[in-house]
């Protein structure tokens, strides 16, 4: 059982890659919609939510947990690994390295939440891999809410993307798991010459490698390729986007509200 969680429905962009790479595994997803968005919440709150959801997922049988949220990864993954050493955690962070190494213009854009851009983990990655390029950072104000509600995000994206293009960016790093759901709109603004970099496939590959090294779980003989979804608030966005990704999900996949 692989647990996946996010502040809302954004982590489904990671779940999509996990299912594509490991279709026979079982997944349990938690969207913390009651606390969404995480982007500017105090770190202490994000850690508190991470602990509560970790215990919930582990209680449901997950021995590996994918933190499909850049903000939660930056704020909580080190704490979780220290406190719950029996659980394997996989995090996600902006894919600065490939963007910087492959840039032709020496300019890359990073679109992320405020907390992700402030995080020490992000700045360590920046200093290590992006010292030779110009990085243009933009907080994606209103983008998480647009994805959750299904609203058009073009105006908000124009405010974020236009300065990057004007400065010559040839790559835009998506630093929030909600943002891949806006990829087509981002491409329409940035043009075909700009690469849109989503780290979700790399997260799926890392999860697969960890899973292959783990001993078989005594809790279950074999996987069935089933996914179930819980939310702490309304599950409308989780159901809408998961069905967009995988239209054949059975009706009983969404467990609705769970007080976590």
At which of 198, 214, 249 does a domain end?
198
Quote the pLDDT of residue 223.
64
Q: What is the pLDDT of residues 10-61, one digit of tens each?
A: 999 999 999 999 999 999 999 999 999 998 899 999 999 999 999 999 999 9
Asked if residue 129 and residue 39 are part of one domain, the reply reads no
Total count of residues recorded for the chain: 260
Strand pairing report for 227-231 and 2-6: unpaired
Percent of the chain with pLDDT over 90: 89
Write the pLDDT tens digit of every residue in 212-253.
Answer: 998 776 655 566 799 999 999 988 999 999 999 999 999 999
User: Pairing between strand 107-112 and 64-67?
Assistant: unpaired
- Selected catalytic residue, list 22, 30, 62, 69: 69
Are residue 148 and residue 101 in the same domain, yes or no? yes
| Strand (E) or helix (H) holding 254 | strand 254-257
Q: Is the dihedral of CA 246, 171, 42, 146 positive or negative?
A: negative
Q: Which of 22, 53, 92, 176 is catalytic?
A: 176
* Residue 160 designated active-site: no
87 and 103 share one domain: no
Range of the domain at 192: 96-198
Q: Would the pLDDT of 141 be above 70?
A: yes
The answer to whether residues 165 and 243 belong to one domain is no
Q: Which of 154, 173, 198 is the last residue of a domain?
A: 198
Domains: count for the chain: 2
Q: Check the CA dihedral 128-129-133-135 and report its sign.
A: negative
Under DSSP, the state recorded for 40 is T
Peptide bond connecting 177 to the previous residue in cis, omega within 30 degrees of 0: no
148-175 per-position pLDDT tens digit:
999 999 999 999 999 999 999 999 999 9
**pLDDT for res 80:** 97
The encoded tokens of residue 161 equal: 């993307």
Q: What is the CATH number of the domain that holds 209?
A: 3.40.50.1860
pLDDT on residue 235:
84
Regarding whether 229 and 180 lie in a shared domain, the answer is: no
């Amino acid at each position: 059982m692989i647990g996946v969680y996010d502040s809302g429905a954004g982590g489904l962009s990671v779940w999509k890659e996990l299912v594509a790479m490991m279709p026979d595994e079982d997944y349990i997803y938690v969207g913390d919609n009651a606390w969404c968005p995480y982007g500017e919440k105090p770190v202490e709150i994000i850690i508190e939510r991470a602990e509560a959801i970790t215990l919930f997922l582990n209680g449901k049988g997950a021995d590996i947990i994918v933190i499909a949220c850049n903000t939660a990864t930056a704020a909580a993954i080190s704490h979780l690994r220290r406190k719950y050493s029996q659980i394997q955690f996989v995090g996600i962070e902006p894919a600065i390295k490939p963007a910087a190494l492959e840039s032709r213009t020496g300019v890359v854009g990073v679109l992320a939440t405020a907390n992700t851009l402030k995080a020490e983990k992000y700045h360590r990655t920046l200093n290590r891999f992006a010292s030779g390029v110009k990085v243009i950072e933009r907080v994606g104000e209103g983008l998480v809410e647009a994805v959750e509600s299904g609203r058009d995000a073009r105006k908000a994206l124009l405010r974020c993307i236009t300065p990057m293009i004007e400065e010559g960016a040839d790559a835009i790093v998506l630093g929030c798991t909600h943002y891949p759901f806006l990829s087509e709109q981002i491409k329409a603004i940035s043009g075909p010459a700009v690469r849109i970099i989503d780290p979700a496939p790399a997260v799926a590959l890392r999860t697969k490698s960890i899973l292959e090294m783990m001993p078989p779980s005594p809790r279950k003989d074999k996987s069935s390729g089933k996914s179930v979804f819980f939310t702490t608030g309304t599950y409308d966005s989780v159901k809408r986007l998961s069905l967009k990704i995988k239209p054949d999900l059975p009706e009983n996949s969404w467990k609705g509200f769970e007080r976590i």
